[in-house]
Amino acid sequence: MSLFETIKETVTVGQAAEYYGMKIGRNNMICCPFHNDHYPSMKLNTTYYYCFGCGATGDVIQFVANLFGLSNYEAAKKIAVDFGITPDNPPVIAALKKPEYMETKSRQKELHECQKMVCEYLHRLEKWKALYAPERPDLPMDERFEEACENLSYIEYLADYLTFADEEEGFEVVKSMKETGYLEDLKYLSGSRDEEDVYAEEAKAA
């Protein structure tokens, strides 16, 4: 793909206009930079612009060329530099399109699953702490009671944090939990261990 094509595929007219300091209003209209425009008369479409006042039109490269008084080739080079597009590196803007969207989606899903696990584990620990508390100090401590004492405050903290953190902060937590392996632990800890509970609840009720 030529530089021209790469740029036209990856940078929209709107992205260029915004990058070079133009304020985009409703319906992607801007004040035309090519005539004395007091009210926005230029429409920015994805691949071309059109001014209803002076009739100026063209693609993103022509837009930048006219804006800075450059040749089309110079304008293409300028866009490539400003948007980090090189023949070797994948274009930054292109990387921001679909892949980033998909990545965000999958991170949101992970975050949501993580919140769910933390929440389930929290409820389990709260239940265990009440259910398996030793009835007399001289009795051996139930493992589940010990687990609850050990982990409850951290899990409470984690649940609180994930509830109030913004999405980016949440992504960071999930990322570090993955790196430390805690996310895997949490899968086990919050996973189905219910048969033990049922048994214990029955034993306690008896």
Residues contributing to the site for Zn ion (CB under 5 A): 32, 34-35, 51, 53-54, 56
Q: For the CB of residue 21, give the shortest distance to Zn ion in the complex, in Å.
A: 17
Tell me which residue has its CB nearest to Zn ion: 32
Closer residue to Zn ion (CB): 54 or 130: 54
Minimum distance from CB of 31 to Zn ion (Å)?
Answer: 9
Q: Minimum distance between the CB of residue 159 and Zn ion, rounded to whole angstroms?
A: 56
Separation CA 66–CA 126 (nearest Å): 66
Whichever of 56 and 183 has its CB closer to Zn ion, that residue is: 56
Q: Write down the least CB distance from residue 14 to Zn ion, Å.
A: 16
- Kindly tell me which of 37 and 74 has the beta carbon lying closer to Zn ion: 37
Task: Pick between residue 49 and residue 83 the one whose CB is nearest to Zn ion.
Answer: 49
Whichever of 54 and 81 has its CB closer to Zn ion, that residue is: 54
* Shortest Cβ 64–Zn ion spacing (Å): 16
Tell me which residue of 166, 129, 122 sits closest to 145, measured CA to CA: 129
Q: Identify which of residues 53 and 58 has a Cβ nearer to Zn ion in the complex.
A: 53
User: For the chain, how many residues are written?
Assistant: 206
Give the strand order in the sheet containing 49-51: 29-30, 42-44, 49-51, 57-58
Q: Which tokens belong to 117? A: 């696990």
Q: How far is the CB of 174 from Zn ion (least distance, A)?
A: 48
